[in-house]
Structure 1
Amino acid sequence: MKAAYDFVFLGLSLSSSWGNGHATTFRSLIRGLAARGQRVLFLERDVPWYAEARDLENPDFCTLDYYSDIEDLLARHRDAITAAKAVIVGSYVPAGVAVLDVLHALKPKRLCFYDIDTPVTLSKLDRGDEEYIAKRQFPMVDIYFSFAGGPVLSWLEKALGVKQAVALYCSVDAERYQPTGEPISWDLGYLGTYSRDRQPVLERLLIEPARRLPDKRFIVAGPQYPGDIDWPDNVDRIDHLPPADHPSFYSRQRFTLNVTRADMVALGWSPSVRLFEAAACETPIISDNWQGLTDFFSDGDEIRIATDSDEVVRILTETSEADRMAQAKAAARRVAERHTGLARADEFLAALEREPALTAKMLSAAVQHRQHA
Structure 2
Amino acid sequence: MKISFFGSSLVSSYWNGAATYYRGMLKEIAALGHEVTFYEPDAFGRQAHRDIDDPDWARVVIFPATPDGWRRSLDAAVQSADMLIKASGVGVFDLELENAVAALPSRLIRIYWDVDAPATLEAMESDPQHHLRRAIPCYDMVLTYGGGDGVVSAYRSMGARHCVPIYNALDPATHFPAPANARFACDLSLLANRLPDRETRVDHFFLDVARHLPGKSFVLGGSGWDDKDASANVRKVGHVGTADHNAFFGSALATLNVNRDSMARYGFSPPTRVFEAIGAGACLITDQWAGIDHFLEPGREVLVAADGAEVAEHLAALDPEQARSIARRARARILSQHTYRQRARQFNDLFVASSSRIEAAE
Q: 1:135 to 1:180 in 2, by over 3 A?
A: same
- How much has 1:211 moved relative to structure 2? 2.5
Instruction: Give per-residue Cα distances to partners, 1:97-149, cap 9 Å, x unaligned.
Output: 32233334442520001100100001111232878x52101111111001223
Q: 1:47 to 1:196 in 2, by over 3 A?
A: closer
Aligned equivalent of 1:337: 336
Q: Which moved more, 1:248-257 or 1:144-153?
A: 144-153
Instruction: Give per-residue Cα distances to partners, 1:259-281, cap 9 Å, x unaligned.
Output: 01111111111111100111111
Aligned equivalent of 2:142: 144
Counterpart residue type for residue 212 of structure 1: H
- How much has 1:194 moved relative to structure 2? 0.7
Aligned equivalent of 1:203: 203
| Aligned equivalent of 1:54, options 50, 54, 61 | 50
Q: 1:177 to 1:192 in 2, by over 3 A?
A: same
Q: Distance in 2 between matches of 1:45 and 1:322?
A: 46
Q: Distance in 2 between matches of 1:262 and 1:353?
A: 35
Describe the SS at the equivalent of 1:225.
coil
Q: What is the TM-score of this pair, normalised by structure 1?
A: 0.87
Q: Which moved more, 1:30-39 or 1:96-105?
A: 96-105
Describe the SS at the equivalent of 1:111.
strand
Aligned equivalent of 1:193: 193
Instruction: Give per-residue Cα distances to partners, 1:61-84, cap 9 Å, x unaligned.
Output: 211011224544454663543442
Q: Distance in 2 between matches of 1:157 and 1:231?
A: 39
Aligned equivalent of 2:89: 92
Instruction: Give per-residue Cα distances to partners, 1:251-303, cap 9 Å, x unaligned.
Output: 10110000011111111111111001111111011111111122111110111
Q: Which moved more, 1:78-87 or 1:278-287?
A: 78-87
Q: Distance in 2 between matches of 1:55 and 1:231?
A: 29
1:149–1:269 CA contact under 8 A, matched in 2: yes
Q: Distance in 2 between matches of 1:279 and 1:9?
A: 28
- How much has 1:153 moved relative to structure 2? 4.5
Equivalent positions of 1:231-270 (< 5 A) are 231-270=230-269
Q: Distance in 2 between matches of 1:197 and 1:43?
A: 27
Q: Distance in 2 between matches of 1:197 and 1:157?
A: 21
Aligned equivalent of 1:114: 113
Q: Distance in 2 between matches of 1:189 and 1:195?
A: 17
- Across the two proteins, how many residue pairs are aligned to each other? 352
Counterpart residue type for residue 116 of structure 1: V
| Aligned equivalent of 1:162, options 156, 160, 163 | 160
Structure 1 unaligned residues grouped into runs of 5+: 359-373
Q: 1:106 to 1:139 in 2, by over 3 A?
A: closer
Q: Distance in 2 between matches of 1:130 and 1:269?
A: 28
Aligned equivalent of 1:65: 61
Q: 1:178 to 1:105 in 2, by over 3 A?
A: same
Equivalent positions of 1:65-84 (< 5 A) are 65-68=61-64, 69=66, 71-75=68-72, 78=75, 80-84=77-81
Aligned equivalent of 2:220: 220
- How much has 1:344 moved relative to structure 2? 1.7
Q: Distance in 1 between matches of 2:99 and 2:207?
A: 46
1:18–1:50 CA contact under 8 A, matched in 2: yes
Q: Distance in 1 between matches of 2:300 and 2:161?
A: 38
1:216–1:234 CA contact under 8 A, matched in 2: yes
- How much has 1:357 moved relative to structure 2? 8.8
Q: Distance in 1 between matches of 2:304 and 2:163?
A: 29
Counterpart residue type for residue 149 of structure 2: P
Q: Distance in 1 between matches of 2:117 and 2:355?
A: 21
2:301–2:327 CA contact under 8 A, matched in 1: yes
Aligned equivalent of 1:371: none
Q: 1:224 to 1:76 in 2, by over 3 A?
A: closer
Aligned equivalent of 2:302: 303
Counterpart residue type for residue 160 of structure 1: M
Q: Distance in 2 between matches of 1:167 and 1:216?
A: 38
Counterpart residue type for residue 288 of structure 1: D
Instruction: Give per-residue Cα distances to partners, 1:136-195, cap 9 Å, x unaligned.
Output: 011111110012232234424541111110101122321110011326721100000012
Q: 1:48 to 1:276 in 2, by over 3 A?
A: closer
Q: Distance in 2 between matches of 1:242 and 1:203?
A: 23
Counterpart residue type for residue 297 of structure 1: L
| RMSD across aligned positions (CA) | 2.3
Describe the SS at the equivalent of 2:46.
helix
Q: Distance in 2 between matches of 1:187 and 1:226?
A: 21
- How much has 1:16 moved relative to structure 2? 1.8
Counterpart residue type for residue 26 of structure 1: Y
Aligned equivalent of 1:175: 173
Q: Distance in 2 between matches of 1:346 and 1:248?
A: 30
Structure 2 unaligned residues grouped into runs of 5+: 358-362
Q: Distance in 1 between matches of 2:217 and 2:69?
A: 50
Q: What is the TM-score of this pair, normalised by structure 2?
A: 0.90
> Does 1:45 pair with 2:41?
yes
Describe the SS at the equivalent of 2:98.
helix
Q: Distance in 1 between matches of 2:177 and 2:129?
A: 41
